[in-house]
């Protein structure tokens, strides 16, 4: 779902981009965040809590809360709510706390 009309915000959507979510091709717009594109595609579980592994979705949506940490192009702990979508990027669900690339 995407908001088309908003009383204050203007959505300046660019061209359509393709990216990968856990290997699956998904489309989104240039200029929007990864989280927005995932949400529009119906993907609402972004991460899992460390202790009880409960699903976590969008919460603060401004890069503060760590509820949307995912692996993007191999880099762990990317806050997808504030990371802009790029053509061909690989977005993956993160298992655990994320592994630094050595």
Partner 1 sequence: MQKTSSIVIIGGGVIGCALAYQLARRGVKDIVVLEKEYLTSGATGRCGAGVRQQWATETNCLLAKESVRMFENMNEELGYSKDIEFKQKGYLLLAYTDDQWNQFKKNVKLQKSLGIPVEMVKPQKAKEIVPHLNIEGLIGATYCGTDGHANPFHVTYAYAEAARKLGVKIETYTEVIGFEVEKGKIKKVKTNRGDIYAPIVVNCAGPHSGEIAKMAGEEIPIYPERHQALVTEPVESIQDPMVISFHHHIYCQQVPHGSFVMGMGDPNEPTSFNQKSSWQFLEEMAQKVVSILPPLKDIRVVRQWAGLYDMSPDANPVIDELASVKGFYTVAGFSGHGFMVAPITGVMVAQLILGEETSLPVHPFGLERFKRGEYLLEHSVV
C-beta of 27 vs 97, nearer to partner 1: 97
Question: Shortest distance, CB of residue 24 to partner 1, whole angstroms?
Answer: 25
Residues at the interface with partner 1 (CB under 8 A) = 50, 66, 75-77, 96-102
Handedness of CA 2, 59, 78, 44 (dihedral sign): negative
Q: Please give the helix or strand (H or E) that residue 40 lies within, else none.
A: helix 34-40
Min dist. Cβ of residue 32 to partner 1 (A): 23
Least Cβ distance, residue 20 to partner 1 (angstroms): 20
The whole-angstrom separation of Cα 67 and Cα 58 is 6
């Amino acid at each position: 779902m995407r908001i088309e009309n908003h009383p204050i915000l203007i959505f300046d959507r660019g061209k359509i981009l393709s990216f990968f979510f856990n290997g699956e091709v998904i489309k989104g717009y240039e200029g929007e965040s990864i989280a927005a594109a995932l949400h529009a595609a119906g993907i609402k579980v972004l991460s899992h809590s460390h202790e009880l592994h409960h699903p976590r979705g969008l919460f603060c949506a401004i890069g503060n809360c760590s509820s949307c940490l995912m692996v993007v192009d191999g880099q762990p702990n990317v806050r997808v709510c504030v990371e802009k979508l790029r053509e061909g990027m690989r977005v993956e669900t993160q298992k655990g706390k994320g592994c630094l690339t050595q």
